[in-house]
């Protein structure tokens, strides 16, 4: 890497850490930047997954006040998250990416639309308070597992998807759901780091350049997210999700 590549990676890392903490989708900043430094696409994806993990951790630290009272919930879903991530990593390493790449843009756009029309959808599926405890628990596990598979495979806009789905099934303020999303993203990131470090080609020079920058951006972004009104936070997340989905759609067909 030359000096220009290092500067680009640092700037991308700070921006991605902040975006991941506020809305999710920071990988759509770091992944193209890694490609621009000359890495092959699969290597860039793997290196990106390793690089953004510290930013997820700092996001958790920055939003820890909104995790109060959610310890029991986290203990029930973190094993599910880790199991799903292992499955997603296996998909990436063992199968061709072409088919999944065509599905991803529609998943991201669907997640953004789900959050944008959350209240109308609640009228169709029922408010979280109307769900039985059993149904709510099963739905939560299913959402966490499906999101973790996606996160282990690629992970861009994982936060958008998690916030959109969790907001439908949890009767919690958006800031607390965002904090929960940060923990789930960090759990997915931890598993990808372990799996890819053992079984994939990680470019550690690029990863070690990006990682400290994502920590700084992740902490700052999480603190900012806590201060945003719910309506503003929802608008930001929907906007990022739509932009990311359209970008992925463009890339899939070009």
Structure tokens at 253: 């067909």
Taking alpha carbons only, the member of 156, 154, 68 closest to residue 111 is 156
- Measure the CA angle with vertex 165, ends 162 and 167; round to 5°: 100
Can you give the pLDDT at residue 138? 93
Residue 9 has pLDDT above 80, yes or no: yes
Residue written as tokens 């920055």?
A: 62
Cα–Cα dist 108/160, whole Å: 7
Residue 56 has pLDDT above 70, yes or no: yes
Answer yes or no: are the C-beta atoms of 16 and 215 closer than 8 Å: no
Confidence of residue 141 (pLDDT cuts 50, 70, 90): very high
Can you give the pLDDT at residue 127? 67
Can you give the pLDDT at residue 254? 78
The more confident residue out of 55 and 98 is 55
Cα–Cα dist 90/105, whole Å: 21
Can you give the pLDDT at residue 7? 94
Confidence of residue 185 (pLDDT cuts 50, 70, 90): very high
Can you give the pLDDT at residue 133? 84
Taking alpha carbons only, the member of 135, 163, 132 closest to residue 147 is 163
Residue 104 has pLDDT above 70, yes or no: yes
Q: What share of the chain is helix, strand, coil (3-state, %, to 5)?
A: 85, 0, 15
> 204 is in which domain, residue-wise?
3-252
Residue 126 has pLDDT above 70, yes or no: no
Can you give the pLDDT at residue 125? 60
Provide the domain count of the chain.
1
Q: Give residue-wise pLDDT tens across range 198-227.
A: 999 999 999 999 999 999 998 888 888 777
Structure tokens at 90: 């296996």
**Range scoring the smallest mean pLDDT among 6-15, 60-69, 217-226:** 217-226
156 CB-contact burial (10 Å; exposed 0-12 / middle 13-18 / buried 19+): buried
Residue 25 has pLDDT above 90, yes or no: no
């Amino acid at each position: 890497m030359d000096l220009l590549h290092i500067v680009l990676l640092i700037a991308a890392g700070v921006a991605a850490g902040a975006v991941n903490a506020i809305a999710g989708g920071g990988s759509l900043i770091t992944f193209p930047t890694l490609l621009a430094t000359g890495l092959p696409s699969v290597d860039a994806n793997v290196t990106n997954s390793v690089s953004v993990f510290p930013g997820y951790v700092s996001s958790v630290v920055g939003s820890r006040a909104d995790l109060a009272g959610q310890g029991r919930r986290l203990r029930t879903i973190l094993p599910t998250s880790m199991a799903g991530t292992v499955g997603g990593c296996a998909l990436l390493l063992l199968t061709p990416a072409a088919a999944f790449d065509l599905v991803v843009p529609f998943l991201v756009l669907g997640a953004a639309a789900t959050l944008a029309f959350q209240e109308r959808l609640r009228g169709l599926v029922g408010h979280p308070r109307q769900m039985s405890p059993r149904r709510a628990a099963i739905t939560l596990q299913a959402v966490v597992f499906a999101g973790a598979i996606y996160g282990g495979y690629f992970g861009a806009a994982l936060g958008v998807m998690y916030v959109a789905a969790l907001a439908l099934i949890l009767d919690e303020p958006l800031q607390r759901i965002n904090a929960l999303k940060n923990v789930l993203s960090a759990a997915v990131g931890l598993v990808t780091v372990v799996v890819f470090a053992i079984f994939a080609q990680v470019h550690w020079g690029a990863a070690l350049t990006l990682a400290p920058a994502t920590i700084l951006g992740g902490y700052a972004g999480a603190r900012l997210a806590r201060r945003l009104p719910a309506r503003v936070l929802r608008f930001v997340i929907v906007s990022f999700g739509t932009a990311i989905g359209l970008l992925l759609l463009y890339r899939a067909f070009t």
